[in-house]
Amino acid sequence: MGSFRFVKFTKGSSTIDNILSSRILIMPGIVIVGAQFGDEGKGKIVDYLSQDADSIVRYQGGANAGHTVVTGNKKFKLHLIPSGAIWGKKCYIGNGVVFDPEEFLEELDTLKKDGITPNISISPLCHVIFDFHKAMDAAEESARKVGTTKKGIGPAYADKISRHGIRMCDFIDDERLMKRLAMEVERKRESLKLYNSEYNDTADSVFKKYSGIAKKIKPFVHHIIGDLNTQLDEGKKVIFEGAQGSLLDVDFGTYPYVTSSSSCSGGACTGTGVPPMKITKCIGIAKAYCTRVGEGPFPTEIHGKTGELIRERGAEYGTTTGRPRRVGWFDAPMVRYSSLVNGFKEIALMKADVLGGMGKIKVCIEYETSEGKVKRFSSATAETAKPIYEEVEGWENPGDWKNAAKKGFQSLPRGLREFVDYIEALIGCKISMLSVGPSREETLVR
Ligand code: IMP
């Protein structure tokens, strides 16, 4: 990834001189990525950083994401609309997103009831999720369990890759939509029959349902690639809001128990049309412990009372599906791996307050594997890796976190400060932000 710098062009040395002024300021394109299995609290940090950002863009995933943002006494739950909408910032939905039009309109309505009218542009190149994708997601889940959100994410990405997808530019044009549905719906019916699904729509009935919805979406569809690149060229601050987490990335995660998109920082480029050199920084978001929803390997999972206690204290229930999240200890090799594949320059450590008052806390520092002890996490062997823990002293939480956060890092309980330094040393990445509660005021910047 590039770095924040000035580029000096020597006068007369190239034709670019004639076009551009002598100095170009390359400013931050910042990617925010979950360092674990999602639900780390990205929404809160994106919201925090959005205050002085110019725009926020979603680059992958769809309405499977659940971003909770708390402002004052209001709680917003967003799935598709970027969290920056709450600050009234310019928001974009990139081509890498699979777009559920009904969910979008519902979310828009909910925000409007709270007096928020998002300024949002949707890429004409993103792929649209239809009911048949959701039916296929449910059917596939009944045959082999990944624990998906059943939002149609996997089948929509499968259609995209196999060139059967319907893009937004087709969706908002009646003639093109009908033509594409005529080609695709029958194929879907045939596939769904194999699962004994009751799906019974026809191209005509799908068109009838969605053409009205498409008319409501059309005003939001704009060519966003030029806009985003121009903003970055002009030195504006653009936040790329990742959804899910690095260990759910279709390439780097615990395949096949993953989502179907590139949730790591590389996805920010392919999902928006912004080239890698314009991304200046990637910030990882990690919980002080770890959670996972759905199936799949989870080396540090805690079974029994301690796990239940953390789940209750951390309100670890899915924002999108309400499912109880599986809970585990902080896995340092896993977050180190995330840092490697994403290029984290810094990390925000979330929900540190949840572990306060629990006595000793465990942290995984390496694994026992068939090759002996290893410090490296690998998605290829995560299923059989046995965690080796170190125990650290805990701490008692202060009664008023808002006040403690205001006073700064040095006024926090000693055990918590030592825990943060310890984790930082284990993962080899600066912990620049610490979150000790859901509100904006319960955030410390180091
Ligand atoms: P899908 O993205 O709905 O296909 O689900 C695939 C896997 O990713 C399942 O294990 C889901 O529980 C998980 N998943 C999807 N979205 C999120 C999220 O926003 N947070 C945490 N897990 C997620």
Closest atom of ligand 1 to 39 CA is 20
Q: pLDDT band at residue 22, thresholds of 50, 70 and 90?
A: very low
Choose the weakest-confidence range: 44-53, 334-343, 362-371.
Answer: 44-53
Whether the pLDDT of residue 413 is over 90: the answer is yes
Percent of the chain clearing pLDDT 70 (strictly above): 94
Whether the pLDDT of residue 414 is over 70: the answer is yes
Average pLDDT, integer, range 190-197: 95
Q: pLDDT band at residue 3, thresholds of 50, 70 and 90?
A: very low
153 lines ligand 1 (CB under 6 A): yes
Active-site residue among 39, 100, 159, 353? 39
Percent of the chain clearing pLDDT 90 (strictly above): 84
Query: What is the rounded CA–CA span in Å between residue 198 and residue 200?
Result: 6
The 3 state secondary structure assigned to the chain is CCCCEEEECCCCCCCHHHHCCCEEEECCEEEEEECCCCCCCHHHHHHHHHCCCCEEEECCECCCCCEEEEECCEEEEECCCCHHHHHCCEEEECCCEEECHHHHHHHHHHHHHCCCCCEEEECCCCEECCHHHHHHHHHHHHHCCCCCCCCCHHHHHHHHHCCCCCEHHHHCCHHHHHHHHHHHHHHHHHHHHCCCCCCCCCHHHHHHHHHHHHHHHHHHECCHHHHHHHHHHCCCCEEEECCCCHHHCCCCCCCCCCCCCCCCCCHHHHCCCCCHHHCCEEEEEEECCEEECCCCCCCCECCCHHHHHHHHHCCCECCCCCCECEEECEEHHHHHHHHHHHCCCEEEEECHHHHCCCCCEEEEEEEEECCEEECCCCCCCCCCCEEEEEEECCCCCCCCHHHHHHHCHHHCCHHHHHHHHHHHHHHCCCEEEEECCCECCCEEEC
Choose the weakest-confidence range: 76-85, 297-306, 345-354.
Answer: 76-85
To test ligand 1's pocket by mutation, which of 259, 317, 320 has the most ligand atoms within 8 angstroms of CB? 259
Choose the weakest-confidence range: 71-85, 293-307, 365-379, 424-438.
Answer: 71-85
Whether the pLDDT of residue 33 is over 90: the answer is yes
Tell me what pLDDT residue 16 has.
43
Average pLDDT, integer, range 197-216: 97
103 lines ligand 1 (CB under 6 A): no
| Cα–ligand 1 centroid distance for 178 (angstroms) | 31
Pairing label, strands 361-369, 330-331: parallel
| Cα–ligand 1 centroid distance for 38 (angstroms) | 8
Whether the pLDDT of residue 223 is over 90: the answer is yes
Whether the pLDDT of residue 112 is over 50: the answer is yes
Tell me what pLDDT residue 77 has.
86
Question: Per the structure block, which two tokens stand in for 25?
Answer: 């300021």
pLDDT 10s digits, 352-396: 999 999 999 999 999 999 889 999 999 999 999 999 999 999 999
Residue nearest (by alpha carbon) to ligand 1 atom 21: 38
437 lines ligand 1 (CB under 6 A): no
* Spans of all domains in the chain: 127-166+173-218, 285-445
65 lines ligand 1 (CB under 6 A): yes
Average pLDDT, integer, range 425-434: 97
Across the chain, what does the average pLDDT equal?
92
Please give the CATH superfamily to which domain 285-445 belongs: Adenylosuccinate Synthetase, subunit A, domain 3 (3.90.170.10)
Average pLDDT, integer, range 170-188: 97
CA dihedral 131, 132, 133, 136 (to 10 degrees): 130
Tell me what pLDDT residue 27 has.
60
Average pLDDT, integer, range 105-129: 95
Choose the weakest-confidence range: 80-84, 264-268, 431-435.
Answer: 80-84
Please give the CATH superfamily to which domain 127-166+173-218 belongs: Adenylosuccinate Synthetase, subunit A, domain 2 (1.10.300.10)
Q: pLDDT band at residue 436, thresholds of 50, 70 and 90?
A: very high
Tell me what pLDDT residue 66 has.
85
Tell me what pLDDT residue 9 has.
40
pLDDT 10s digits, 265-299: 999 999 999 999 999 999 999 999 999 999 999 99
| Cα–ligand 1 centroid distance for 183 (angstroms) | 29
Active-site residue among 47, 52, 54, 67? 67
Whether the pLDDT of residue 71 is over 80: the answer is no
Tell me what pLDDT residue 247 has.
98
Closest atom of ligand 1 to 320 CA is 19
146 lines ligand 1 (CB under 6 A): yes
Tell me what pLDDT residue 26 has.
56
Check residues 23 and 80 and name the one with the higher pLDDT: 80
Contact 403, 409 (CB under 8 A): no
Tell me what pLDDT residue 69 has.
79
| Cα–ligand 1 centroid distance for 188 (angstroms) | 23
Query: What is the rounded CA–CA span in Å between residue 196 and residue 192?
Result: 7
To test ligand 1's pocket by mutation, which of 98, 153, 244, 263 has the most ligand atoms within 8 angstroms of CB? 244
39 in catalytic set: yes
67 in catalytic set: yes
Tell me what pLDDT residue 1 has.
44
* Residue bearing tokens 């194999």: 194
Q: pLDDT band at residue 6, thresholds of 50, 70 and 90?
A: very low
